[in-house]
Amino acid sequence: MMRTSIIRDLVILLVIFGFIWGIISLFPVFPEKVELVSIEREQELGETYLEAILKNSDFEEVTSEEMTNAVEAIGLRLENALEGSEYDYRYLVVDDKMINAFTLPGGNIIVTTGLIEFCGSPEELAGVMAHEMGHVEMRHVVSRLVKELGIAILTSGDQFVMGEVTRIITSTGFDRKQEQSADLFACELLEDAGIEPRTLATFFRKLRDDQDNELLEKFEIVSTHPNFTHRIREVLEYVPDENFEEIPMEIEWEEVKGQLPEGRVSK
């Protein structure tokens, strides 16, 4: 009969499409969605976002050569210890009294003058930067963006997306697991670079003791879960190789700090 035949066809259609929907929902075809964004593409995006952020936000690039050189030197030291990285790292110091460091796609690491002020030594800053590099190498930055925006929108490079990207990058944190793995990555990297990994614990301790500081509000390392005691313990548990030898940073940290823009030497 015609009617039964029509209903049967309808059922076939519903089953086929329901199956497609269900199968993709239950067994995601893109579990590693971030893999769909190539590193080259990520670097291109990073370039675009960097420009957009510098143009549209209040951040102003610091021109003091002493300061940028210091950050660059720390970065290079870490990069040299980093084997087989596909990223071209770029470091930028922006003038902002908030204590903050964040990473744009493609290995663009941005630190604020507030953070430099907060760090007691170049090694502490190296710890933060190594932690950020961990997020880069493990592709946390791009996967967070993919998760929040979706691949199509993210890779469109559309300028209207920029605002959202800026918000995500500068305000929201990574998840607990990602932070943990970035901490571990930082420890290993610091060790390879001849920097005492447990400096990171010192830095975390400072953060813990200063948790109510409103300048810390946006700091990614702090924002996710201020359970520092646990993280400090984990970093302290990281024991460097017995042949480990610390190579001091040849940076006059106080002089670098002296380059902080007027009125920004916070207390």
Partner 1 sequence: MEYHPLPQPDEIPVREREDAMGAYFMMFATAALGLPLPIINMIAAIIYYFVNKSKGRFVQFHTLQSLYSQIPVTLLNIGLVVWVITNLVKEYDFTEVFWGYLVMTAVANLIYLIFSVVGAVKARKGLFYYFLFFGKLSYAQVYRVRVGDGEQQRENKPPKM
Q: Which stretch binds partner 1 (CB under 8 A): 25-33, 173-181, 186-194, 210-218?
A: 25-33
- Min. distance of Cβ 21 from partner 1 in angstroms? 4
With CB under 8 A, what is the number of residues at the site for partner 1? 24
Catalytic site residue from 132, 137, 179, 196: 132
- Min. distance of Cβ 18 from partner 1 in angstroms? 8
Contact pattern for partner 1 over residues 159 through 178, marking x by CB under 8 A: -----x--------------
Concatenating the DSSP letter of every residue in 63-125 gives: --HHHHHHHHHHHHHHHHH--S-----EEEEE--SS--EEEETTTEEEEEHHHHHH-SSHHHH
| 147: CB partners within 8 A, 6+ apart | 33
d(CA 187, CA 208): 19
Q: What letter would DSSP give residue 261?
A: P
d(CA 95, CA 111): 9
Among 25, 58, 214, 241, which residue interacts with partner 1 (rule: CB under 8 A)? 25
13 binds partner 1 (CB under 8 A): yes
| 49: CB partners within 8 A, 6+ apart | 104, 105, 108, 162, 165, 166, 169
- Min. distance of Cβ 128 from partner 1 in angstroms? 27
User: For partner 1, which is the closer residue by CB, 158 or 217?
Assistant: 158
- Min. distance of Cβ 218 from partner 1 in angstroms? 17
CB 183 within 8 A of CB 231: yes
86 has catalytic annotation: no
- Min. distance of Cβ 40 from partner 1 in angstroms? 23
Q: Which of residues 103-162 bind partner 1 (CB under 8 A)?
A: 147-150, 153
Sheet containing strand 101-104, strands side by side: 90-94, 108-112, 101-104
Annotated catalytic residues are 132
Q: Which residues bind partner 1 (CB under 8 A)?
A: 2, 5-6, 9-10, 12-13, 17, 20-26, 28-30, 147-150, 153, 164
